[in-house]
Amino acid sequence: MPTYSAPLENIKFILNDVLDANSLTEIEGYEEATPDLVEQILEEGAKLCEGVLFPLNQSGDEEGCKIEGDVVTTPKGFKEAYKEFTEGGWCGVSADPEYGGMGLPMLVNTVMQEMICSANFSFGMYPGLSQGAYEALHHYGTDEQKQTYLPKLITGEWSGTMCLTESHCGTDLGLLRTKAEPNGDDSFNITGNKIFISAGEHDLAENIIHLVLARLPDAPEGVKGISLFVVPKFLPEDMSRNGISCGSIEHKMGIKASSTCVMNLEDAKGWLVGAPHKGLKAMFTMMNAARLGVAMQGLGIAEVAYQNALFYAKDRLQMRALDGAKFPDKPADPIIVHPDVRRMLLTSKAFCEGSRALSYWVGMNLDISIKHSDPDKRQEADDLVALLTPIIKAYQTDMGFEIASTAMQVHGGHGYIWEYGVEQYARDARIAMIYEGTNGIQALDLVGRKMGAHMGRYLRRFFHPVSEYIEKNQANEKLQEFVFPLAKGFAKLQQSTAIIAQKGLKDPNEAGAASVDYLRQFALVAMGYMWIQMVEAAQKKLDEGTDNKAFYESKIKTARFFFARMLPEADWHFKAVMAGAESLMDMDESEF
């Protein structure tokens, strides 16, 4: 049977010792978000995840969702868990207090997303989609729309979706065909079909609020003709049924307890959200929130997979250690003594702890970008979030799947068996590399939009602090073994950036060919930047004479593994970037 324990000690280390999340209390509206309060909230969240959500993960996978007619039911126990989740206020952790939310920093919500995804990836889809709908309506909805929908989304009485994809258009939303005809008042009749709609129909909430992309009659072609509409399942004025229904649910590789629906709209009544033909801008508000959430899915799956691999490696007896028996009183040694098993476990551990720091840093900057009183600080933080969002979405979901697969490898044959649970993590993790923009699209976003934006302003938000940190600490004896490899990796990242910018101006295929390797190179350097700060924080605790010496020493040892065994991967990606596009683009389609 699988196991999960929320990594609260590691979480608190990142929040308090590495990032100094207490500084958020200096921002108006976050004054009460002290470390003590945040710790209490996260401890309660951990209990919910460990005791309520995690026990439903395997059974939910086995049972899946079911459809009869257009009615979808979730697996046994999900309704009760959702009721407990919503009654605890977890849908409104970072929501606006004006509409009933707790008003806590988005950072707290980011941490909760990690724990929820570790405990029950499928369950997390339902409140996760509601978060996207909330963000779009909060940013672009009218006052009436906000008053109508936000309080119910915050309590969880109503849930939300994002209805973007159609059978012929996924990434290229300019091809969508769903139509919106004006009714002569402020409403529209919307007709079309959407596919792959997560949480599109279910039995958890009283109402489902769909955010639907469609075209007005006078819409220009392409993405400039997309508008966003709010289309409730039940009309709020009298709770009569609207013309949107589920035609079928998908039979999927993973996240089987999450209902992924085909949604049919037949003169469904909807209302415009934001300006006509400006739906793409509102959509990206949903997408950016979703992409940060998906990054946490990658981390969440990696964490629970690692925990189970570690438990198994300490328990499973096979052969003797290469340098002699470690447990002579037992018939064999546990497999954790073997170097290759340790390589797999340390790769998993180094990723989880490093990406936790990186994604929490993004979450913290998201709060600064929204709430800080200084407009310059808001802009700087917003730039950093924009730059790092595609990086953490792609890298953390790639690695989430890789580490789930690694956990299966640690388990050997048992990893391939359903009862042990880890094969589910691999199946569940795989979708995160695809939805909310495939990871290849994230790489194109990085090199095509973010790299050159505002004359490189986004890049400077990351490059400048890293450069300053290296310069400040190059003579620090306790950090030198980490500063030098970081400096080397950072220099090559700068070189890759210059080469892509130079070649990409002449031939867009050069930028496209380099994009995935560049993103991975960037991610590894960013992880190195976070790991060296973790070393600094851990060393400070050791110098102070902490009682928890083993915990902080393990941070430094894990950092050594990262810098020795994982950061060098950036060199390979650097070489691939330098190889250019010719070997990719030279072959004719007929030669494949």
Alpha-carbon distance of 1 to 420, in angstroms, equals 5
Taking every pair of Cα atoms in the chain, the longest distance, rounded to a whole number of angstroms, is 84
| Contact (Cβ atoms closer than 8 angstroms) between residue 361 and residue 371 | no
pLDDT tens, per residue, the chain with 592 residues: 899 999 999 999 999 999 999 999 999 999 999 999 999 999 999 999 999 999 999 999 999 999 999 999 999 999 999 999 999 999 999 999 999 999 999 999 999 999 999 999 999 999 999 999 999 999 999 999 999 999 999 999 999 999 999 998 878 877 899 999 999 999 999 999 999 999 999 999 999 999 999 999 999 998 899 999 999 999 999 999 999 999 999 999 999 999 999 999 999 999 999 999 999 888 777 677 788 999 999 999 999 999 999 999 999 999 999 999 999 999 999 999 999 999 999 999 999 999 999 999 999 999 999 999 999 999 999 999 999 999 999 999 999 999 999 999 999 999 999 999 999 999 999 999 999 899 999 999 999 999 998 989 999 999 999 999 999 999 999 999 999 999 999 999 999 999 999 998 899 999 999 999 999 999 999 999 999 999 999 999 999 999 999 999 999 999 999 999 999 999 999 999 999 999 999 999 999 9
pLDDT reported for residue 172: 80
CATH code (residue 91): 1.10.540.10
The C-alpha angle 89, 91, 92, rounded to 5 degrees, equals 70
pLDDT reported for residue 304: 98
Question: Could you tell me if residue 586 is inside a domain?
Answer: no
Known active-site residue 436:
yes
Question: Could you tell me if residue 379 is inside a domain?
Answer: yes
Three-state DSSP at 192 gives: strand
Task: Looking at the structure, tell me whether residues 263 and 298 fall in a common domain.
Answer: no
Question: Could you tell me if residue 15 is inside a domain?
Answer: yes
3-state secondary structure 115-176: HHHHHCHHHHHHHHHHHHHHHHHHHHCCHHHHHHHHHHHHHCCEEEEEECCECCECCCHHHC
pTM: 0.97
Q: How far, in whole angstroms, is CA 196 from its chain's centroid?
A: 18
* 525: phi then psi, degrees, rounded to nearest 5: -65, -40
Alpha-carbon distance of 493 to 551, in angstroms, equals 32
Output the six-digit token pair for 376. 């310059």
pLDDT reported for residue 152: 98
pLDDT reported for residue 281: 82
Question: Could you tell me if residue 196 is inside a domain?
Answer: yes
What does the buried/exposed string (b/e) look like for 420-451 if buried means 16 or more CB atoms within 10 Å of the residue's CB?
bbbbbbbbbbbbbbebbbebbbbbbbbbbebb
Task: Looking at the structure, tell me whether residues 412 and 519 fall in a common domain.
Answer: yes
Q: Which of 237, 259, 283 is the last residue of a domain?
A: 283
pLDDT reported for residue 1: 84
> What is the per-residue pLDDT across 318-339, written as a single tens digit (0 to 9) for each?
999 999 999 999 999 999 999 9
Task: Looking at the structure, tell me whether residues 163 and 97 fall in a common domain.
Answer: no
Output the six-digit token pair for 537. 């924080």
| Contact (Cβ atoms closer than 8 angstroms) between residue 313 and residue 410 | yes
Q: H or E segment at 102? A: none
Q: Which of 106, 130, 155 is the last residue of a domain?
A: 155
The active-site residue out of 201, 353, 402, 436 is 436
Phi-psi region of 545 (alpha: psi -120 to 50; beta: other; left: phi over 0): left
pLDDT reported for residue 283: 77
Task: Looking at the structure, tell me whether residues 250 and 222 fall in a common domain.
Answer: yes
Question: Could you tell me if residue 584 is inside a domain?
Answer: no
pLDDT reported for residue 446: 97
CATH code (residue 482): 1.20.140.10
Q: What is the mean pLDDT of the chain?
A: 96
Task: Looking at the structure, tell me whether residues 332 and 450 fall in a common domain.
Answer: yes
Question: Could you tell me if residue 70 is inside a domain?
Answer: no
Cβ neighbors of 376 (< 8 A, separation 6 or more) are none
| Contact (Cβ atoms closer than 8 angstroms) between residue 313 and residue 346 | no
| Whole-angstrom Cα Rg for the chain | 24
Task: Looking at the structure, tell me whether residues 378 and 273 fall in a common domain.
Answer: no
Question: Could you tell me if residue 482 is inside a domain?
Answer: yes
Task: Looking at the structure, tell me whether residues 163 and 147 fall in a common domain.
Answer: no
Task: Looking at the structure, tell me whether residues 524 and 388 fall in a common domain.
Answer: yes
Cβ neighbors of 544 (< 8 A, separation 6 or more) are none
Task: Looking at the structure, tell me whether residues 446 and 430 fall in a common domain.
Answer: yes
CATH code (residue 196): 2.40.110.20
Domain count, the chain: 3
Minimal CA–CA distance to 538: which of 553, 560, 526, 550?
553
Alpha-carbon distance of 120 to 118, in angstroms, equals 6
| Contact (Cβ atoms closer than 8 angstroms) between residue 169 and residue 175 | yes
Task: Looking at the structure, tell me whether residues 249 and 294 fall in a common domain.
Answer: no
Domain that holds residue 264: 158-283
Question: Could you tell me if residue 2 is inside a domain?
Answer: no
Task: Looking at the structure, tell me whether residues 227 and 315 fall in a common domain.
Answer: no
Task: Looking at the structure, tell me whether residues 25 and 95 fall in a common domain.
Answer: yes
Q: Which of 283, 314, 342 is the last residue of a domain?
A: 283
Alpha-carbon distance of 372 to 27, in angstroms, equals 6
